[in-house]
Structures are given as C-alpha cells and as structure tokens.
Amino acid sequence: MTKSALSFKLLPIMAATLALIGCTPAVVKQSAPKISRTIGKLDQPAEDVLPIIRSEPVAHDPQRAVDNYRKLLELAPDVDTRNEAQRRLADLQVQIADSQGTTDESEKQLQESVSLYNKLLYADPTSADNDRIFYQLARAQQNLGETDASIDTLKRLTDRHPDSRLIGDARFRRAELLFNRLRYSEAEAEYKTVMALGDATPFFASAQYKYGWSQYKQSKYTDAITTFFAALDRELPEGDLFEPEPALARVETASNDMIRDSLRVITLSLAALGGGPALSEYLTTHGDPRFYPLVYVALGQAMHEKERYTDAAGAYAAFIERYPSSPLAPSFQSRTIGAYIDGGFSDLVIREKQRYAVTYDPDAPYWAGRTTTAEVLTELRAHLGDLARFHHAQAQQNTFADAQAKQAEFLVAARWYRRIIELYPQDPQLAEVNFLLGDSLLDGGQTLAAAQEYDRTAYGYPSHARAAEAAYASVLAYEKHAAEIAAEARPEALRLTIDAGIKLADQFPEHPTKLPVLLQVAKNLFELKSYDEAIDIAARVLQAQPPAAVPLRRNAWSVTGDSHFAQNRYADAETAFSEELRLTPQDATERGTVIEQLAASIYKQGEVARDAEDLKTAAHHFLRVGQVTPQSSIHATAEYDGASALFDLQEWSEAARVLEGFRQRFAGHRLEADVDKKLAVAYQRDGKALPAARTYARIARRDSEALAVRSEAAWLSASLFDQGQSNVEAASAYEYYVTTFPRPLDRALDARSRLVDYARSSGNTAALSRWLQDLVNADQTAGQERSTQSQLLAAQASLDLGRMAANQANGIALTLPIQSSLPARNQAMQNAIGWLNKTASYGFAETTTAATYELGQLYSALANALVKSERPRGLSELELEQYELLLEEQADPFIDQAIGAHEANLQRLKTGLYDNWIARSAAALAHLSPARYGKLEQGDNRYDHLD
C-alpha cells in the first residue's frame, strides 16, 4: 500500500479525532456588564463593563490538536482537506489565545491564524461559509490589538453575509469595538441594528444598554433617557417603585449591574439637561413610565451625593410640582427639606417645612377624599415644632422695622403652636407647647387669646412644673386685655381678670403674688361696680396673717372706701379713707389721690349710670367732671366718655358740640383721632353735610390712620361736599382722593367722572381735557382691575377728547395763503382722528358708531372749510372760477373720506346694529351723496345693497 493511499485512509480517522477535540467556532456569549452599585460621579462604563468577549473553554489538550493539524498539513492532503485543516488550525489557535491570554507565542500563532484566514478567503471568496472565517479572523485581529482591522473585518462579514447565523454576534462585537474606539455614532447604529433583531439574538439587552451609552456619549441625553427607560421598564420588578435601592435589589442578578448603571446614566443625562425640571419636561413630552417616582428619587440622590443640594431639592420639588396630589408628594417634600438641611440652607429649610405644614395639614385640600397617614402626621409634628420655635426666636430678636411686623412674626409662631395642640392632643409636651402659645399670642398683640391659653396651661393639664407660672401669666394677660379694649367692653374683660385672680389665690395659696393679685381683683371689682365683692376681696388682703405690707393694706382700704362711697355708704367710706390716709406718708404723691376722690366720685356716678344703660345721666356726670374739677386728671376721659354716651344716644347735635369742645381743649390728645371719627359721624347723622365733609377730610389726611380708614374718609369727604353742593371743595376732595387713593379702580373712576363733570360745568377746558385723559390712562394702567366699565368710561372719554380736538380743528380757519394755514388745521385733525380711532378700538357699539360719525363729520368739515376758504383778491371771473374748481378738487378726497366713514357706520346695519349715530351717518350721506343715498327709504334694511 502506497504512502498516499495510507494518508487517504488516515485522514478521515484524524479528522474524526480532531472533531472530538472540538474545533468548531466558539459561540460568543452575552457578558453581563459589571456596574458600580452606587449612582455616583461616573460618565462612562467601568473598565470591565465590556471586556473582549472570550470563547468557550477549549477542549482538553488543545495544543495536541494543533500539533495534529500541523502534521496533517505536512502530509499535503487534497485542497478541501487542507483548507479545512487550515481553518481548524487557525480556530484552535484563536481559542487558545482567548482562553490563555496573549503571549509572545500565542501572538505568533494569532498572526499565523490571520494569515490562514486571509488565504482561505482569497482561495474561495464566494463561499457561503466565509461568514465563519470572517468572524474568526475578526476575533484574531481583536486579540492581536488590531481593533480597526477587526472592525473592518466584521463589516465585511455583515455586508457579504447578511443572513448569517452569526450576524447578531458580529454586529454586537463590532459595536463594542467601535464604542471602545470612541466612535460612538457608528457604535450607536450597530447597537440599534442588533436591537432590531429582537428575540433572534441573545445580545438584545446588552445592545440596548450600550446603545443608550452611545447616545449619552454623544450628548443625546433625551434619546439616552428613552433608551434606558425601556431597559428599566423591562427589568425592574412589577408594583409601585419608589426607593431605587430596594427596587434594584429585586432585579435578576444577571441584569442587576446593567440596570443599576442604566439608572445612573439616566440621572447623569437629566443633570446635564437641567435636573428635576428637565425630568418633568421629558415626562410631559414622552409620558410617565410606571417607575417615574423612582427616577425622581434617583436623580435627587445623585445630586445629593455630589453635594449639589439645591439641585437635589429641585429634583424632589419637580416631582411635587408635577404630581401635587400623589401619595408620594409628602415624602418628596421631606426629601427636599433634607437636602436643604444637609446643604446648610436654613432659610430654605424653614420655607420648605412651612410648605410641608401647609400642604399636608389634615385639613388641606391635598387630603380631600383621603385619610391622613401616620407617617405624615409624625413628620408634620416635627415640622410644626420647628416652625413654631423658629418664628418665635425670630420675633424675639428685635430686628423688625416696626411693631406690627414684630407682632406678626409672633403670631406666625402662635399659629404653629396652636396647630400642634389641635392635631396632637396626646402629645407629652402639650402643656409646654400651650405655655409657649400663650407667650407668642401675648407678644403678638392677641392679649385675650394669650390669657385663655395661659389659663388652659395652668388648669387644663395634669400637674406640671409651670402650672403656677402659667396661672399668674393668665392673670397678667387678662389685666392687659382689659386695659386694651374699648370702654364699653371693659366690664366683661375685667370679669375675666377677676375670675383668673381668684382662681390663682384658691388653687395656689402659697403663690408669692397671691395678695397683690387679690388686691387687683378688688380694684377690678370696684371698677365693675361690684362693690360688695370688692369689699370682700379687699378684706382678704387686710386680714392676711402675717399682715400684708403697708402699700397693699393702704390700697385695700382705698378700694374699700371707694366701694362704700359708690354705694352711698359714706360713714363706712370715711372710715376706709381715713385708714388709707393714715397709712399714706405725708410726702407721698399718692395723697393727691384722695383729692381726686371728688372727681372720681362724680365719674363713678357716670359709670354706674352707663352700666345701667342710663346714657343721658351718664353723659351728665361725665361732663360734670370737667365743670366741677376742670384740673382733674380724668377730665379728658370723662369728656370723651360723655360725648360717647351722647353719641350712643344719637343726640347728634349735642354730641358734636361736646366733641368739638374736646378738640379745642385737648388738642393733640391720644383720643383726638377717635373724636374726629365720632364727630364726622355725628355731623353726618345730623344732616350737616359740609362740617361732616371737612371732618372726614381731616381724618383722610391723618397719617396715623390705617390706609383703609383714610381712603374711606376721603371718599366720604368728597361725597359729602358733593351732597352739600360745595363744588370747589368737592372738586378738590375728589382730586385728593384720585391722587392719594388710586385703588380700588372703580371708585377712582367714579371720582374722575365727577371731576370731568365739574370741569365741564365750570367751562374749564384744560381741566376737562386733563381728567378725560386721566380716565383713559387709568384704564390703560388698570392691569387686572381693568373691567368693561373702565373701558367704557375710557371709550367715552376718548370720544369727548376726539370731539374737543375736532372742535379745535374746525375752529382753525383756512386763510390765505392756504398752504400756510392748512398744516395747523391738519395737525389738529390728526389729534382728533387719533382720539376717535382710539374710541373705536374699545369696541363698544355706542361709542364706536359715534366716533365713526364724528370722523366723517371731521372730514366733511375740512372739505367745507376748503370750499369756503378765503379767496384771493383781484381774480378775474374766469380765474375765480378756476380757483374754486381747484378748491373743489382739493376737497373731493376729504368728501370721499367722509363718505367712507359714514358708510362704515351703515355697514354695521348688517350686524343688526342701529342707533342714532348710524341714523345721523345716513342723514349725512344723503347730504354728501344725494344721488346714491338721498332717496333711500327709512328702515333698518335700507342699506343692504352696500358691500
């Protein structure tokens, strides 16, 4: 048997043996990318996200298979066997390099494999199996570091073998190489092609992931977001998703790193586009994915980790703005607060805490149809406490420009304290919160409310450390309240003070302020004319053991004496006053008080009568104080109270007399402003319009009055001057009102209208023009207050201004030479035309038709003026005829414009509009164009032929 025959028989056996070793092309397996588990500062995949894809492990002893193929090739087999052996040899060498890495020896083998693949391709360029050779060649080139060559080889494979079973693998491998070469645009296209294969390729998920990365690398942030959203939608678990980490933890292990990184790149893209607002804008355009809350959270967390606290807060706030009714909105608001806290933005923290407290209060619209959650209530409690403490501290810093602003800040704190009490009745700190509520209300000017809260703190809770302090605070606050209110309401307030004082003495008998409080109770009872009660309470001070201090006993005797005296028990009163005087030092200023008893006794008679609602008697006694003891300290108060009683009796003339006397005797008194207010009402009710108007004028010009009071007084002043027919004073008052109180607009417009009337009736053309223009300007600057009424008034004013301007224009005679006199008339006409056009621009039918008529008449008047203008002297009959013809030619265009204006009015008949101005336009047309309009019948449809 020959050697060649032996080789022929051995070849099938060796081929079978090599096949058992395993030389088929390796199938590229999808490699799950390894991704950082935090969404942090990254802008590209980790280095090992996309490694060169390795082959399957090589069969046992691959080098032996290589050696066998080399021996086979040394036998010079036939062409087919040789080609197959070369291909298998090259494949084995590529597999060895894949498995063991590239060494000097393996690099030589790879170079040999590349050479063998190229020979095979050259030998049979049209073979259907060349796709496999191209694929292996690309792998060899990739392992040799010839990336660009590998990219080109894979391109040849996909171009020449589009139906190859390796097409998905090849395109994905090429996309990976392009990506690593930073050729992102080309990589994007390749990844997209792989994705288009869908379930036909195992590389869909990886291609989609890298497709998004390619878009991100090209700054196609919106496209990248869309791509990664699709990946998240596929891989994230079902159900409500909010926190990124728990959601990602439920993603399958094989996809976990890739999905984590996908979410990270989404946040990077959104950060590049502008953060939270950009995310909301994206969702508005593309719709909400099922996991949209998670994206907002992830974006906020990413910004937070980068210490971009305001951007983090902006991301959370963007969710709330887009989904204000979402059950997750409170949580996002908490995250916003947390971001500002970590960033150290104290003012913003307070602002957002307040937003939380207002928006998610149980009574807020947010909870309509829903039940408040325990989580929100817990969070709300903390924020309410913080807000209350913050505003309380702010108010105590004395940095406010005025007392009202400071009080307002205290009341803000009070509002938050009160809400804690309302919402958390079982709160263990409730007594302390209640005490602080009382403090803030007191400093905020709500004295009665403060007293009530101190009282609740003292007696409404189980025993606590500040109960006695709260009890005394309630007494002081009730006292303060009684001193603040109007005289007629004082008795009720004093009763509250009395009850609080007695309660303190009974419930806290060892309280150090017990006797001073009881003395004050006695004084208050005396003021209330509860004389016997006052005597009884004063006796508790006088009978105390050990004895009370001298000042306390002296004052107790004073109350006792006053009480007896008020009940006409003069002997008892004398005894009491004697004891009081005995205890009063000779040089004590208090001795003057005894002298004041005369005035006080008279004044108290007035109080008794007033409490008995005998206002006439009360007024008598109050006013008698000044008659009998004009030097007494209570003279002014008694005078005012007497006037008030007369005022309440509706004895307007007498009340006015007393109030005028008060103004003369007590100029600059603290009650002067109140006196003026009562005096103005008294004059008004007494039918004395002009004195009432002048009094209201004083009130309107008093800077100490509230703006609303001044505004109302100014209006009443003007109205009453109007009523009293004092035109000059009325005009001045209306002008003051318009100048000082331009808002509300409706009243100011009425005032301007009256000023127009006064100017018109007085013939003051300049004033009339001024106030008409002011009406127009008021409408133009009205802003949101602009109304149909303001526009109608402006339209009417514009019409009047147009007519005035037209009259001015018509009054300019056309004298020779006409070219010298005509410009002045033309300028005046343009002014009139401007106002008439402005009138029409308002769109009111009645003013528009009038303006249109006036416009026609303006042009007609100009035409007439031209025709009737002065003729040059010394013209011959023929020259005069020619001159008049010339004037008629010059007048014709203006006649046409007049006709056009009047015809515009007639056109409105088609809309069903007909009024006097349209009728007058019709009459004017009959005069201007009798041939066309002179014979038309009367009726609304007579001009239907017009087009």
Maximum Cα–Cα distance for the chain, whole Å? Answer: 166
CA 42, CA 188: separation in Å to the nearest integer?
Answer: 20
Do the Cβ atoms of 466 and 457 come closer than 8 Å?
A: yes
pLDDT per residue as tens digits for the range 780-794: 998 888 999 989 999
Amino acid letter, residue 160: R
pLDDT tens readout for residues 884-929: 888 788 888 889 999 998 999 999 988 889 999 999 999 999 988 8
9 or 667, which is more confident? 667
d(CA 179, CA 325): 43
Task: Residue 713: name the closest of 733, 729, 728, 727 by CA.
Answer: 733
Q: How far apart are CA 116 and CA 136, in angstroms?
A: 11
Q: For 880, how many CA atoms within 13 A lie in the half-sphere containing its CB?
A: 10
Q: How far apart are CA 377 and CA 420, in angstroms?
A: 10
Residue type, 471: A
| Tally of residues, the chain | 947
The pTM assigned to this predicted structure is: 0.55
Dist. CA 167–CA 626, nearest whole Å: 115
* Domains recognised in the chain with CATH numbers: 513-595 (1.25.40.10), 596-687 (1.25.40.10), 788-933 (no CATH)
CA proximity to 928, closest of 837, 882, 862, 836:
862
Q: What is the number of H-type helices and E-type strands within the chain?
A: 44, 0
Burial 172-196 (b: 16+ CB within 10 A, else e): bbbbbbbbeeebbebbbebbbbbbe
* Residue 353 Cα distances to 350, 425, 427, angstroms: 5, 21, 20
**For residue 195, what are the contacts with CB-CB under 8 A and spacing of at least 6?**
204, 207, 208, 211
Instruction: List, for residues 504-528, the tens digit of each pLDDT value.
Output: 999 999 999 999 999 999 999 998 8
Rounded CA gap, 31 and 56, in Å?
12
Q: What is the mean pLDDT of residues 83-107?
A: 81
d(Cα 95, Cα 62) in Å, to the nearest integer?
9
Reading the block at residue 800, the tokens are 């009047």
Confidence tier at 366 by pLDDT (50, 70, 90): very high
Structure tokens belonging to residue 135: 């694929």
Please check the confidence at residue 184 and state whether its pLDDT lies above 80.
yes
| CB-CB contact of 851 with 806 (8 Å) | no
Rounded CA separation 861/582 (Å): 102
pLDDT tens across 136-175, in order? Answer: 999 999 999 999 999 999 999 999 999 999 999 999 999 9
- CA–CA distance, 661 with 622 (Å, rounded to integer): 14
**3 state SS of 809:** helix
* pLDDT tens digits, 561-583: 889 888 887 557 767 766 776 78
More confidently predicted of 762 and 19:
762
pLDDT at 24: 32
Query: For the segment 249-282, what is each residue's pLDDT rounded down to a tens digit?
Result: 999 998 999 999 999 999 999 999 999 999 999 9
